[in-house]
Structure 1
Amino acid sequence: MSTSRPLLAALSQDDTDLDNEETIQRLTELVKAAVNDKNPLIQLEDIYRALAQHDGIEFLDAFAVIPEILPCTRMGTVDLVTLIADQVDPREIVVIIQEVVEYLQSAIDYDEEDTDGTSAPVTQIIHLVILCARALPRSRIRRTSAYGILQPVMANLELLISTVGHVEVKADGRRLLREISTLITTLFRWVETSGTPDDAAKTKICLSTLADTTVRACVRSIRASLAARLFEQHFSRLIVTSAVEPDWEEGHRAMLQVINALSVIGITPGMISPTPAFSQLIYLAHSPVPLPPPIPLLHNIHSLLLTSIQMNLALDESLFLLLSSLSRLRALSQLTSSDHMSATTPTAVFGPARPPSHAFSPSSKTSAHPNNNGGLPSVPASLPRAELPVDIVSSLSTVLPSLASTHTDPFIRHVTLRTFSLLLWLAPPTLRLEILLELTSESAIPQMRAAAIGLVKEAVLDALEREGSGRVNGGGAVTDAANGSPRSVASSGSSGSMGSPRSGVSDGHSPPPPPLPGGGGEGSSSPDGSPTRPGLASPGSRKTSSSRSVNAKAKNPFASPLLLQAFGPVLFRTIPDDYLVNVSCAADLEESLEPSRIAESLSLYYVIVQRDVDNRTGVRDTSSIESVEASLLRPLRLFLEDWLRDHEPILPLVSLKLGLDRVDEALAVLRRQGKPRS
């Protein structure tokens, strides 16, 4: 044993004549003071430098010191942990790690662990991971194999991470991901060089399980803004304030390190398995390799997407995968040729997952203009489109509306509504109608009802265009929802604050940007939610039988009289019937969702009247006009006249007055032209 005098002198200890045991005790006291005292005389970084310069690690009591420094976040902590891991007997470190893990598990289970910034369990786990990564490969292989040494330590570490739950602090989660990546790479290479192939195979399973657990625990800390970057890259004209995290690159790099570490042990996270785990959803979203074809991908992960949305977990990754897959399908549908491509042919539907790097750049003259189809070539309306399987549409339609209307983040609400709009665009028309009937019914989520009217509006415009009726990209008759403006979404509280994109999605998943349909406004209801019509399922009774795909081949109901038969009794009236009669003060209007729903219904009616020039829906029939006049327009007109005569105008009524005036003007033009049909 070397003399302790140089070490003690370096630490400004005057009584340098201490024996070795006294030196160990003194050094332990100095470490404890450096960790716990508010203003220690000697800092941890000073202790680290003295130990490193004077080979003083032999005077350090690892069993006493390691538990003290693990929770510490002061300068020099990581350096001291690293020095101990590199020089202390690895057998001692393994014993200490196991003791600390058991203590932490017990403390977390009984909620006794302090959770302030200096002793949070995550900090201790990070330091434990550093110890494992550097100390375990120094172990001597005798009777126990390398796998036999690491397996119990990794099992306890994995259990500890799962016990901690979700890591909410961004910096902690990202750092843990980086350290786990280093641990996986280091330990696997150690086993590969010192163990048998069987050991390597078992180590691969052990380490991949550890990676999965860590990624699930840290998913809320990644925050790489995948969905926001994809959305802002392709729909920059909708952006007001950017929703991209300023430091998204840190989260992105942390996940790439995990993916690279898994590649070292022979796992390709970008490849999808028949029964993927939840962690694979996260790997897929962050993987730099092209995404699998959209329909097989959605078939495999849609149950995970449902879980993610319902649990409010990995939403960024789930929305990215959904938006990417659905927009790829829509873009490819719009680019298909009836002579060369079919919606049922895999090569036609799926296409490449990674576009050319120059495609649809923000500087492109065609990429951002609202009337040029998002930079995509225009195609004849009669070309076939891809349709998503009914089970995928039905299952996602049970969760996306709730997320779009109730999530606390405005951007999440906005991008979810846009994603849901894409989903409906790819749905069979009859199923699309049934879903929208449910969402506009009285039993639907109140905040979603008027937004759903905006989705009905774009379904009508889409159907009329596909059927060859209406003016494509036609000036004043095109409402905000039709051309993708965020106005109607904003009115529902479903639009986020989104600004100019600071960057695109740099990992190459992004498809050529399709135009994304708009959304509706706010709050609605219906009389009973289930108008009974021949051949129309009532809301709430959607089935997932494959027969719907056959029915979808029939005439689009959104461009037929079925549209008004289904939605007329739900939308073109007040809910309840005596709503306007019972309004007694401004608060009744300002605190109600009904004015917004009525405004959206007026907007929908105006659009149908203006765009259905061939009267495919029967909206220009005299009987239809008289019905809407009696159920909605006349009562609303009388109410507004009475209210505005005796009260100051308020915002909800201004919106209703403008909408009503616009409808009245459109109907007056029809009457002057003699176009209402008997």
Structure 2
Amino acid sequence: MLITRVVREGNAVYTLQQLARAIQTYDLTASLDPLALLPLLIPFPDDGADQLIRLITRECSAKEAIVATQEIVEHLKMDPESEEVADDELWLVRQIARALTVYALATPRMTRRKKSPAEQLRPLLSELQSVMTQTMRSTGGTEGRMILGSTRGFMETITLWALNDVQIGAEERKNIADVLFPFLLSTLELCSNSTNGTRSRQAFGSQFPRLVIPTSAPGTSSEPDQPEDALDIIWARMMDLGVTNEDCISQPSQGSLMLLARSPNYAFTTPVLTSFFPVILMSLQANTALDEVLAVLINAIVPLLSQAPRHEFPLDLIVPLAHVLPPLASVHPDPSIRHYTFRVLSAALALAPSPVRVQLLQGLLADPDSSPQMRIAAVGLVKEALLEALASPPGSAEAQRNVFASPALLKTFGPIILRPDPPDLFAPGNTLELEEFLDTKEPLRLVECLSLYYILLLRDVHNRTGIRDKDNLRNAMRTLVDPLKSQLRQWGYDSAAFDGHGHDSGMQLAILDMWLDRVSSSVKDIRQQ
């Protein structure tokens, strides 16, 4: 037969697309044998096979099409590491995607005798889910998008059938939904890195509108066949069958979280967030479903900051987040993910009681396992906490409770922030080359430290932290300001000669010198008061 020849021979005269058109034109579908052809076509890498598979499934025996596909799925389960995998990375997922296509098109055509539609679907999806779980692990890129696309097509076809077939009543539709839902959750978990979604960006834009920089013209959006939209459509079809947010909430999993993140106008309450928290931590640690997880965290945590009195957020959530989020915010390759993660970290810390917040920030600043990027960013987090504390009226109950508006601030953070790292970096006997210094993250950290010190001098006019005490002023000058000034002179930096142009090294030194001048001027003014 010509189809067999095309599949088995590399130099066949006709293509599968040409054969499919000819079969349709001359009404030759009766000559097609699903049991013989589908085992050849489903693994075949040529895209033309899809056209023939659909033709066979629609026009030939539905039972034979399903039986042939079941045999292929069973073979995949028994022998997932076929030698074809080495030459074709899509060999496995292509067959899974095509199996879904066959099941979607053939099941509605099956004769109903003893088995209901849900009973017909259950073993097909159960076996396919077993194969996917066993062989795919966590799939990304093209493979995951192919599975999501085929799942979308399957869900749309089955839902349309369940809603429009007069023989399928409300109870049976619920039974069908009960079969589809666990399969969907499992599939989403396997494809959690393939959604290419924008949920975290949308959540960030909603909660931090002033920080959003427009990246496209108004009114533009992703194409409807993008993977993120595929997942939206899948969830919409499940809701058409009666699946609700409560069904997802009752089954905390990565898949149900991904669906809830896409549910219109749904916001995670703290109790629901708590029930999903093991899933959230696992996702953050495994770097999976980050788009949905960050969207959920942003929308659930950030609004709590504006509540008065401030919401009591569980420490059982804050402390683990404070340990899991920093590595992601430091080293994830996507700058947007780093930024969103850092904002979640900042919000979570802001909800902590100030003694706990102090302890967690101290860990970020001093822990040798913290990345240099996070040690720099943590100085900014201390600055946020400081400004928030100083905004409380002196003598108020909030000011009295807040450690950041007390002498404990300098006792805790002074030895870390108001000195170089290591402390003897600028010691007189320590020969430090300029290039060596600039190759580290220390210049950036020192800029943040000087900035925080300057803000503290400027804002703490009531000396609640003790920053204006003579001893504290003298210690900060001795441990940080004077050694850095001396080192700049030793390197031959001259602020009067620097014109704002030139190498990055000159610019970095100029920024340090600028903050040194600001700090020195503020200290001088305070001493003269």
Note whether the superposition's TM-score is higher than 0.5. Answer: yes
Deviation at 1:409, TM superposition (A): 1.2
Contact 1:184 / 1:261 at 8 angstroms: preserved in 2?
no
- From 474, 485, 503, the equivalent of 1:626 is 474
Q: Alpha carbons of 1:91 and 1:224: their partners in 2 closer, same or farther (altered >3 Å)?
A: same
Show the counterpart of 2:195.
Answer: 222
Q: Alpha carbons of 1:248 and 1:466: their partners in 2 closer, same or farther (altered >3 Å)?
A: farther
Deviation at 1:420, TM superposition (A): 1.2
User: What percentage of residue pairs aligned between the two structures are identical?
Assistant: 31
- SS of the residue 2:491 aligns to: helix
**Structural mapping, 1:419-434, within 5 Å:** 419-434=344-359
Cα RMSD, aligned residues only: 3.1
- Output the TM-score relative to the length of structure 1: 0.69
**Structural mapping, 1:16-95, within 5 Å:** 26-32=1-7, 37=10, 40-72=12-44, 74=46, 76-95=48-67
5+ long unaligned stretches in structure 2: 496-502
Show the counterpart of 1:529.
Answer: none
**Structural mapping, 1:523-672, within 5 Å:** 555-581=401-427, 582-644=430-492, 650-672=506-528
Q: Which moved further from structure 2: 278-287 or 159-168?
A: 159-168
2:19 counterpart letter in structure 1: I
For residues 514-553 of structure 1, the C-alpha deviation after alignment (integer angstroms, 9 at most, x for no partner) is xxxxxxxxxxxxxxxxxxxxxxxxxxxxxxxxxxxxx989
Aligned length: 511
Show the counterpart of 1:161.
Answer: 132
Q: Which moved further from structure 2: 217-226 or 263-272?
A: 263-272
- SS of the residue 1:133 aligns to: helix
For residues 174-217 of structure 1, the C-alpha deviation after alignment (integer angstroms, 9 at most, x for no partner) is 412312312542575699936995x7665443321111111112
- SS of the residue 1:397 aligns to: helix
- SS of the residue 1:286 aligns to: coil
Show the counterpart of 2:339.
Answer: 414
Q: Alpha carbons of 1:242 and 1:111: their partners in 2 closer, same or farther (altered >3 Å)?
A: farther
Contact 1:177 / 1:215 at 8 angstroms: preserved in 2?
no
**Structural mapping, 1:100-499, within 5 Å:** 100-109=72-81, 112-114=84-86, 116=88, 119-162=90-133, 163-165=135-137, 166-169=139-142, 171-182=145-156, 184-185=158-159, 193=167, 203-233=176-206, 235=208, 237-239=210-212, 242=215, 247=222, 250-269=226-245, 272-274=248-250, 276-293=252-269, 295-331=270-306, 333=307, 336=308, 384-446=309-371, 447-467=373-393
Q: Alpha carbons of 1:192 and 1:616: their partners in 2 closer, same or farther (altered >3 Å)?
A: farther
CA distance in 2, matches of 1:625, 1:232: 41
Contact 1:145 / 1:195 at 8 angstroms: preserved in 2?
no
CA distance in 1, matches of 2:117, 2:434: 75
Deviation at 1:612, TM superposition (A): 0.6
CA distance in 2, matches of 1:415, 1:157: 36
Q: Alpha carbons of 1:272 and 1:75: their partners in 2 closer, same or farther (altered >3 Å)?
A: closer
Contact 1:271 / 1:284 at 8 angstroms: preserved in 2?
no
For residues 44-77 of structure 1, the C-alpha deviation after alignment (integer angstroms, 9 at most, x for no partner) is 2222222223321122232332233224565654
- Output the TM-score relative to the length of structure 2: 0.87
Deviation at 1:237, TM superposition (A): 4.5
- SS of the residue 1:108 aligns to: coil
- SS of the residue 2:488 aligns to: helix
Q: Which structure is higher in RCO with an 8 Å CA cutoff and minimum separation 6?
A: 1
| Structure 1 or 2: more helix by fraction | 2
CA distance in 1, matches of 2:115, 2:209: 59
Contact 1:637 / 1:660 at 8 angstroms: preserved in 2?
yes
- SS of the residue 2:88 aligns to: coil
CA distance in 2, matches of 1:616, 1:441: 24
Deviation at 1:251, TM superposition (A): 3.0
Deviation at 1:319, TM superposition (A): 0.6
- SS of the residue 2:276 aligns to: helix
Q: Alpha carbons of 1:194 and 1:228: their partners in 2 closer, same or farther (altered >3 Å)?
A: closer
Contact 2:434 / 2:491 at 8 angstroms: preserved in 1?
no
Deviation at 1:655, TM superposition (A): 3.0
Deviation at 1:104, TM superposition (A): 2.6
Q: Which moved further from structure 2: 599-608 or 649-658?
A: 649-658
Q: Which moved further from structure 2: 208-217 or 53-62?
A: 53-62
Contact 1:31 / 1:47 at 8 angstroms: preserved in 2?
no
Q: Which moved further from structure 2: 304-313 or 642-651?
A: 642-651
1:658 counterpart letter in structure 2: M
Contact 1:454 / 1:604 at 8 angstroms: preserved in 2?
yes
Q: Alpha carbons of 1:106 and 1:189: their partners in 2 closer, same or farther (altered >3 Å)?
A: farther
CA distance in 2, matches of 1:462, 1:580: 33
CA distance in 2, matches of 1:629, 1:645: 20
Deviation at 1:241, TM superposition (A): 7.3
Deviation at 1:275, TM superposition (A): 5.2
1:99 counterpart letter in structure 2: E
CA distance in 2, matches of 1:110, 1:73: 14
- SS of the residue 1:448 aligns to: helix
Q: Which moved further from structure 2: 188-197 or 634-643?
A: 188-197
Q: Alpha carbons of 1:414 and 1:265: their partners in 2 closer, same or farther (altered >3 Å)?
A: same
- SS of the residue 2:151 aligns to: helix
CA distance in 2, matches of 1:615, 1:138: 80
Contact 1:184 / 1:207 at 8 angstroms: preserved in 2?
no
For residues 545-602 of structure 1, the C-alpha deviation after alignment (integer angstroms, 9 at most, x for no partner) is xxxxxx9895211111111111111221222222224353233212222222222111
Q: Alpha carbons of 1:297 and 1:30: their partners in 2 closer, same or farther (altered >3 Å)?
A: same
Contact 1:573 / 1:632 at 8 angstroms: preserved in 2?
yes
Deviation at 1:145, TM superposition (A): 4.7
